[in-house]
Each structure stands twice: as C-alpha cells, then as structure tokens.
Amino acid sequence: MNWFFSLLLTVHILVALSIIGLVLMQHGKGADMGAAFGSGASGSLFGATGSANFLSRTTGVLAAVFFLTSLTLAYVASHKVKTTGSVMQETVQLQTVPASAEVGTEAPKAPAETGSKAVDIPK
C-alpha cells in the first residue's frame, strides 16, 4: 500500500507541475487582438486558434486528473493503519523486565530511626 501512495503522490505532483506549465503557456483574451494583426501567432504549430483549443482541453483533462488524484490521496491517507502511542512507549514495552525475587522472600524494611525529626501529629 505504501508503494501505491508513493506512486499516486508522484503522479499528483507531475500533473500539478504540468498544469502550471500549460497555464503559463496560454495567452490571455487580450492577446488575440495582437494575433489578428500579424504578431506571429498565426504561424505557430497549431495555427492562430488551434493552440488555444489544444492547450485549453489539455489543461481541463489534467485538472480532472489532479482532482481525482487529490481525492484518492485523501482516501488512502485516511485509511492507513493508525499507530497509537509514541516511539518511546513502544521501546519501553519491548524491553524485557528482569524477574524479581520470589514473592514472600523479600527482606522486611528497616523501621524508621527513633531520633528522626518527623513527628506524627494525632488528630
């Protein structure tokens, strides 16, 4: 599943860069007046208006692909296996705890010193 996410993200980024390039290659509505007076656009590969239709359609198709990859990336990211806790909690749980002495064989704790300054206050 991780390779699918990486592939989809790569396609998404390439489509985004392609859209940026196509939008920058297109000319605005005001540039058509210059082409009408022979500014050199009529001698282009697609003709005076052919490039506008080709670039517009290609941009539309890439925008649809971008939209689909966005939705698919959101779906894949939301359905990943969620890990709870932190890395530190996982390492603490993986460490083995040494076995303690048998129950009941612990030595009794020493009583408090008689000369200590701590005093119990009766209620």
CA angle 30, 35, 40 (to 5 degrees): 135
CA distance 60 to 6: 24
CA distance 31 to 41: 9
The whole-model pTM stands at 0.52
The beta-strand segments (E) located in the chain are none
Mean pLDDT of 105-109: 63
pLDDT (0 to 100) of residue 3:
87
CA angle 34, 37, 39 (to 5 degrees): 60
Cα-based distances in Å from 74 to 8, 17, 77, 79: 11, 19, 5, 9
CA distance 72 to 8: 8
Mean pLDDT of 20-30: 84
- Range of weakest confidence among 30-44, 46-60, 85-99: 30-44
- Range of weakest confidence among 37-46, 72-81, 112-121: 37-46
Contact 112, 118 (CB under 8 A): yes
